Amino acid sequence: MKVYAVLGDPIEHSLSPVMHNAAFRAMGLQASYHAFRVGIQRLRDAILGADAMGFGGLNLTIPLKESAMALVEPDETAKAIGAVNTVSFRERIRGHNTDGVGASLALRHYGVNVRGADVLLIGAGGAARAIAYQLSREGAEIIVTNRTPERGMALARDIGLEFRPFRGIEELVRFSDIVINATSVGMRECDPRLFDGSILRAEQVVFDIIYSRDTELLRDARRVGAKAIDGVMMLVYQGAEALRIWTGLEAPVDVMEAAVRAALRG
């Protein structure tokens, strides 16, 4: 029996155990996946402990992804993004980042081709960095905007992209083929909109990486006939990619999606 886990704080609401355990069952693997509340102070102990106990692998979430960089051997992708969301244990303890690939596969899942597309990426946190890195590798023309300009400019500089101020967001939305919300805005019902959704057009794609609720942004997008993509498939594909890193096997994404959507329905 191999043991896997997601570490983070808070962690109670993580859907990763439900998603990965469903995958393990469908794949016929003798494995189980658990969530542990671990803060930055104990991350080193937790990673070394998991290695010592022969864990199959770890996922890391808020607030651990950046701190883990100094505790594992990051691969090229994790290095470029500056954050680790997946840890593997073989001869060495390696750090990976599957968030960007997850976002890219989610877009592809819904038939969206990013090559040559004008993408507006809103946000400059860890998720935004991963998406910027992956989609720019795939030939998207990305403009970054962020409420705090210094953070947005740092992301744009690190990945080699263009930054534009947040106050001009509506103009930026108008000129995009794909609008990606990589901020936390929309997680709560009371969150104000990032921009007036009536400026969206039917030809546009709106990808909101939030998966916990149907956001106002996605509803605005549907209202004008634009393609609205929620964060569920990004969650599923980042998990599927982690599973592939740990086991070398293709993950059953349909099963994982069904498990996540069922858990979200409560």
Catalytic residues: 65
Q: Which is nearer to ligand ATR, 70 or 187 (CB)?
A: 187
Least distance CB 255 / ligand ATR (angstroms): 26
- Give 128 or 135: the residue with its C-beta nearer to ligand ATR: 128
Size of the site for ligand ATR (CB under 6 A): 13
- Rounded to 5 degrees, φ, ψ at 107 are -65, -45
Stretches 107-115, 117-125, 228-236, 255-263: which one binds ligand ATR (CB under 6 A)?
A: 117-125
Helix (H) or strand (E) holding 200: none
Helix or strand (DSSP H, E) at 119: strand 118-122
Name the nearest CA neighbour of 244 among 130, 22, 86. Answer: 86
Tokens representing 169 are 């967001």
| Alpha-carbon separation of residue 37 from 3, 157, 245 (angstroms) | 16, 34, 23
Nearer to ligand ATR, 38 or 185 (CB): 185
Contact between 212 and ligand ATR (CB under 6 A)? no
* Site track 157-186 with ligand ATR (rule: CB under 6 A), x = hit: --------------------------xxx-
Binding mask 127-146 for ligand ATR (x = CB under 6 A): xx-----------------x
Q: What is the dihedral of CA 100, 105, 108, 109, to 10 degrees?
A: -140
Least distance CB 248 / ligand ATR (angstroms): 28
Smallest gap from residue 178 Cβ to ligand ATR (A): 18
Choose, by CB under 6 A, the member of 49, 110, 116, 148 that binds ligand ATR.
Answer: 148
Token pair of 159, please?
Answer: 């990945």
Q: How far is the CB of 131 from ligand ATR (least distance, A)?
A: 9
Count of C-beta atoms within a 10 Å radius of residue 199: 14
Distance CA 106, CA 133 (A): 15
| Collapsed DSSP state (helix, strand, coil) of residue 145 | strand
Among the listed residues 124, 179, 226, 242, the single contact to ligand ATR using CB under 6 A: 124
Taking the C-alpha atoms of residue 113 and residue 117, their distance in angstroms, rounded to an integer, is 8
Q: Which of 52, 121, 75 is nearest to 242 (CA)?
A: 75
Chain Cα centroid distance, residue 82: 14
Q: With respect to ligand ATR, which residue has the nearer C-beta, 128 or 159?
A: 128
**Is residue 151 within the footprint of ligand ATR (CB under 6 A)?**
yes
Figure out which of the listed residues 123, 186, 231, 239 binds ligand ATR, where binding follows CB under 6 A.
Answer: 123
Output the residue with the shortest Cβ distance to ligand ATR.
125
Angle at 64 between CA 63 and CA 70, to 5 degrees: 140
Is residue 63 close enough to count as binding ligand ATR by CB under 6 A? no
Instruction: Report the interface residues with ligand ATR, using CB under 6 A.
Output: 123-128, 146-148, 151, 183-185
